[in-house]
Every structure is written in C-alpha cells, then in structure tokens.
Amino acid sequence: MNKASAILSCKDVWVTFAEAGLPVEVLNGIDLEVDKGRSVAITGASGSGKSTLLQALGGLLKPTAGDIAFAGRHIDRLGARQLGTLRNRHLGFVYQFHHLLTEFTALENVAMPLLVRGDSIDSARQNATSMLSRVGLEHRVNHKPPELSGGERQRAAVARALVGEPDCVLADEPTGNLDEKTAQGVQTLMLELVNKGDNALVVATHDLALAKLLDVHYELSGGKLERIR
C-alpha cells in the first residue's frame, strides 16, 4: 500500500488481557494499513479478536504494545480530549448492537454527533433527517429505539455513524442481527460512503459474502492477521 494514501495504520500491535492472573494474547504483532477510498474486511472465528482490533484502531482500547496512527497522528500520544475530538470528527462506529440512547428519538440520536462537534441545532437536525431518509427511516424520525424494530434500530445506528461523513468507518458485525434484505441495504449504504472518494471502511464480519464485496480481505486467527486477497 502507498503510505501517503493510508488513513489508518497500525504497526506491531499487541493486546494482552489477564485471565485468572494469566496473560492471554489476543492480538499478536498486527500490521495493517487502510488506504483512503478503500474498504477492508476482517473475518475470523468468534473470539478471534476482531472486535478488540477495531476497538484499538478506533482509540477505544489502548494496545499493550505497538503503534496506531490515524491520518499521520499517533493516537496513543493524544490526550483524552484530543482523542475524543478525533473520534467525533473523523471516525464513525457501527456495532452489532445499536447502542442508541433509548430516551432520545432516532432523529436526536443521529443528530447528537453533529451537536457534539458544534454544529447548529438546525443544521444538525437537517443533516440527521436527510441521513435517516437515506436509510429508509424518514417515517420513524420521532420514534425512540424501543419503538423501532431491530432492523430499524441498526439502520438508525448506521445513520448516526455516517451522518458526519467521517474519514473512516469502523463496523463490527454491522449486519449480524439483520434480515437479508435489510442487511443488503446497510451494506450498500456503507459502500456508498467509500465510493464517494477518500473515505475508508473497515468491517469485522463473519459474513464471507459481505467480505467479497470489499476491496481487501484479511483473516484474523491465532492473534495474527493474514491477507486473503
């Protein structure tokens, strides 16, 4: 890969947890570069460390050793406030379970990242409404998560991740709880983000059909990352 075009990279990243007082290596010297405008699939068995890797890439988990850089900035050297700003403005997260705030409407949930970064209320609401329309939820904007179906909640979560047009989206089993038709719609929406230009997408998934749609495919096994294609 061309280092000049890499938006996200990690070098010799290790993550070790303690279980019953004994060290358990989850990631074992991971090297990865994600180029602008490219989509990357990471497959692997349950418990292989896919979620751990995405959390480390997004600055949600500090690796035991190694270096992670986003747009040339080494995230382990950033303070909490700087890291929070970077995540808010440049990264989007999609999880298998939606993590929507149940006391807020779909519109309020999707608008929240924009309000946090300082957008006006009117602008945030307008952009959130537009994104909810893109995921087919224009008729559900004023409904709260308990009033939405599982597929609708996940589509709202995708809208929240994409609304700020992040430089990179990290998606952890984003279609794992969806029916086939809804899953295809979510996949299309995420891939549209990458196809627009410089945005990047990293998806951890057990779905090999989804992995085939992405530009690059890695498999995580035994703490190691192997490129499949």
pLDDT tens-digit series, residues 154-189: 889 888 988 888 889 999 988 777 778 778 877 887
pLDDT (tens digit per residue) in 107-134: 999 999 999 989 999 999 999 999 999 8
CA gyration radius for the chain? 17
Q: φ, ψ for residue 201 (rounded to 5)?
A: -140, 130
- Give the pairing type, strands 22-35 and 6-19: antiparallel
**Count of structural domains, the chain:** 1
Q: What is the pLDDT of residue 1?
A: 43
pLDDT (tens digit per residue) in 200-209: 999 999 888 8
- pLDDT more than 70, % of the chain: 96
Q: What is the CATH number of the domain that holds 74?
A: 3.40.50.300
Measured CA to CA, the distance from residue 146 to residue 109 in angstroms comes to: 13
The H or E element that residue 172 is part of is: strand 168-172
Q: Extract the tokens encoding 215.
A: 């530009």
Cα distances from 94 to residues 13, 60, 169, in angstroms, run 22, 13, 7
- Greater model confidence, 72 or 34: 34
Domain, as residue range, for 134: 3-227
- Greater model confidence, 21 or 70: 70
Average pLDDT, the chain: 87
Q: φ, ψ for residue 75 (rounded to 5)?
A: -70, -20
pTM of the predicted protein model: 0.88
Q: Do the Cβ atoms of 185 and 133 come closer than 8 Å?
A: no
Q: What is the pLDDT of residue 206?
A: 87
pLDDT band at 226 (very low <50, low <70, confident <90, very high): very high
Judged against a pLDDT cut of 70, whether residue 3 lies above it is answered with: no
pLDDT (tens digit per residue) in 127-151: 999 999 988 899 999 999 999 988 8
Q: Coil, strand or helix: which one is 149?
A: coil
